[in-house]
Amino acid sequence: MCWKLRGVFLSVLLLLSISLAAVSDAFSTSSPPPAGSVAITVPPHYDSDVSPMGNPYPSPLHTIHVQPLLTAEEAAKSLELAREHAHVTKCWDAKDSERHAAYATVDFPIEECESLAGYLEGIDFHDRILTRLGEAYGLEFDDMTYLDFFCANYETKDEMAKTERITMDRLAPHRDGSLVSYTVLLSPPDNFTGGGTSFDALRDVRITAEHGGVLHPNGVVRPNHAGDCCLHSGKLLHGADPVTSGQRTVLVAFIEVAEWCQRPETLALACRDFGRMDVASYRLRRQERMTKGKANDEEDGDTSTPAPGWILNNSRWLSKSAIRGYAPAFETVLRRGEAEFQRQKKLQAEDILLRDILLKEDERPD
């Protein structure tokens, strides 16, 4: 009898270990995406098959995923709880510039709304969304940490004008502090027009039937159903397209990826390249301000069009050999400060970043 019980016990342990192994391998085994999913891969912008570090295009981070996540009932209940909290606390009546200083948004942290936080826990929301992120980008649960999780609300300017509330209908292009991010649409799409997440890297992409109706002009990704999620790298330049009628409410999260999954210095190199373009833009704007109305062609007497340059006068310091007059901006300054040149250079840096920053699984420490 003792041996029989021992055999049963060992059989249970074996089945349990097999089940746990299947769960732990969920991220390493590529499972098919849910029905109705759409994957959009941003085009290459770096003019080489491989990055300077030797990594090919595309990486997993080049792909934006739009997938069903919540049921219509779950999305509706989440929206109801969010609106109740916003009505009581008035948190959607003004932009929050303390939590998001650079890009103030109309939102509230999920942790401050116990009813919504508890409901999401009850429907295993975090397990479901992190599983999707892991499958999309080759990550495990232990590789991901929440930096921020909040509920944001967008509404048309016409609605704002009717009240004294200071809300938002859009969000300027930016990059998140996290490597991966997600957005979950709570509002039914027929409750608003416009809106969606705009990606600069998708701006020139030709829309086809393969995009499943979620990709719109100017690189705007707009899910088709309430409860759908949009997964993407936070380092892709993105913003919120203007809502032109109604209200659009979304759950948003910034998910940091563990340092053991990231290639050192990759982000620093990208920031260096982004910063160089910002400096070039600032230099041109400063020269435009310094021109003070000087003309493109003073010799012809044409003073109608100011030209970027410098008004030189160092007589304050070198009175005996003073240099005075107008000096036009160098061609390189004009070219590097031009908007489309800036955009392409930043897209190149973004492309390299996406290729290089994630270590392959066999490159990560055990």
Whether 211 and 219 have beta carbons less than 8 Å apart is answered as no
- Taking the model in full, what pTM does it have? 0.83
How far the first Cα of the chain sits from its last, in Å, is 43
Question: Residue 158 has what pLDDT?
Answer: 72
Residues 166-173 have a mean pLDDT of: 91
Task: For residue 26, count CB atoms less than 10 angstroms from its CB and return exposed for 0-12, middle for 13-18, buried for 19 or more.
Answer: middle
Reported as a single tens digit per residue, the pLDDT across 81-94 is 999 999 999 999 98
Average pLDDT over residues 31-45: 91
Q: What percent of the chain stands above pLDDT 70? A: 80
Cα separation of 366 and 341, whole Å? 42
Binned at pLDDT 50, 70 and 90, residue 296 comes out as very low
- Counts for the chain of helices (H) and strands (E), in that order: 8, 17
Task: Give, for 276, the enclosing helix (H) or strand (E).
Answer: helix 266-291
